[in-house]
């Protein structure tokens, strides 16, 4: 039986903001929103902080547009 390829869509947004950290041409992104639609058409959204970590995730069935201030999962990071 031939293998069926599952389709996935990945959505990447431009950084929410960037700032010049050292007065030169180099900039640092502060946050990036991403999303992914699986083969069943279910969407998962996440936000990446400036270090590429995932502090907030909105699972399928809990849309980011309806619950912007209430993610499905929220992770806090501390510096050791």
Mean pLDDT, residues 16-42: 68
pLDDT at 73 over 90: yes
Please tell me the predicted confidence (pLDDT) of residue 79: 77
Mean pLDDT, residues 49-74: 92
The phi-psi region of residue 39 (left if phi > 0; otherwise alpha if psi is between -120 and 50; otherwise beta) is: alpha
pLDDT at 33 over 60: yes
Q: 23 or 59: which carries more pLDDT confidence?
A: 59
Q: 46 or 24: which carries more pLDDT confidence?
A: 46
pLDDT band for 22, please (50, 70, 90 cuts): low
């Amino acid at each position: 039986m031939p293998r069926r390829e599952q389709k996935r869509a990945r959505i990447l947004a431009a950084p929410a903001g960037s700032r010049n950290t050292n007065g030169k041409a180099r900039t640092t992104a502060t946050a990036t929103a991403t999303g992914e639609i699986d083969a069943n058409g279910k969407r998962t959204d996440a936000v990446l902080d400036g270090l590429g970590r995932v502090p907030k995730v909105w699972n399928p069935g809990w849309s980011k547009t309806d619950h912007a201030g209430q993610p499905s999962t929220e992770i806090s990071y501390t510096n050791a």
